[in-house]
Structure 1
């Protein structure tokens, strides 16, 4: 039994979809603004009543980290789905315009902002004179911050070149730098933690960025395109594996941060635990939306009706990315 049913070919649906009007652009801007409120307002809400103190500039750092994660998802997803599309027989040659260059620019700015924080001793700089650029080369965190800045710059240049696929290597460097940054040498089994983060971050980028580009590709091809349903079906099959990997690595990472015997208590009494609980609930909602889309894809008369829950899924994934940025800025729970 095949997953994809033939799509109905109609004269008025076979052509490309008209470009989005200003209403859609306004809606996107509103969603981005609302997503930015999560890292900006999240620290105070998560820390309330826990007795924990927020580090200086927690909200700004959380926002920059969320932008960095989003900037990583976009090009990774484009490379992933473009590869799936190339393997489709009789797929239309038209592709949506890539956002990789813009994402690299956003990632570069975010990484530069985070590097400036590291250069001032993990404090928010109030003037350029506070930033010790040379000091970045003297610390592990500084070197990793510089690596991310240069990697995004190189990724943007690769994306704008005739061989955009080469941006995969600097993007991989960003993932590695984030994994190493999240697990300093003083931590218990830091290499294991870094490996879990590499898998978690890579799969998350493929899932979120891939879904975004798949929906943009379907819109470019038009609703009457059978190749669009096939592309969404191929993405859905891979997404199941990505979700399994994200869940497994997320659980393992959480147990490393919070032992099993205390995790239930710390999920409600620590800022990190509260943010983690919010992320878990959001991912569960995303999984339900993905299941709904998959059921529509396989059973509906028009498989492309799966786009509706898929659009809701991508919005929810954006919120997950914002919460993930918040998690990196909150104090880690104390192991009891």
Structure 2
């Protein structure tokens, strides 16, 4: 087995700035863990871009390799949890935050972090989904478990052109829901209709009237990635007994809201955490993504870049200019 490999390394300079470059590393440099994985694909998430630019809310210790997603084959498992050659998916936990992540040809992690690649998905497809797809599926599953059914009315997806939003639109449409996609990018209507959206609204239209204590009932359920005023307005416009899931803060981490949606309409607000999600639920969700919820246009949702071409995509996602998903192919 090769002992040297390529990785994207983020380093802090003497003037407290951060530089990114492809460097050669040794397997001996990797952190402790039972599982050594040869990474074939990773993906780009907003959290990866923050880590790559030195954001202290994600990563504090440098040098560091970002990448909160990874898919590849097991090289060795000291605890016998996986056979060599087994295909696995790794998302969440500390990967790519303080533990060197998927922007490298090898990772070493605790074996509990890995999920077997389910039948019906390729390694590349799993990273076209990645944490974004996993989070979208967790959100949809929460709506289903809350009793939100297709015949009850429209389901709103905010931030619909992003990674989580675009996959949520696709999953919900495939599951038979009438999906209303909200976006600040009015030029992306055809993209969203192509994913299965029945209606596309400008973000401002969703928020309009949000200053009122309650808004006219419209949504049977909501998948929100925006937070802030968008989430508040969505809650105020959700129908009696509806469910709103919250998984992001693209607009704001703040939520200014009264209790009326909860005590007058019985609306529930469900937080979605993909980082510490328990292993049994992880396997259930990945199974659905490989089967009944697999987006039919997964290739159209993603583009592929090599590790040395990632810089442009990092800048794009930080600027809010990215559509869909970016798959990172390791050499």
Aligning the two structures, in what range does the TM-score lie when normalised by the shorter sequence? under 0.3
Normalized per residue, the structure richer in strand is: 2
When you count helix as a share of all residues, which structure comes out higher? Answer: 1
TM-score where L is the length of structure 2: 0.22
Q: More relative contact order in 1 or in 2 (CA 8 Å, sep 6+)?
A: 1
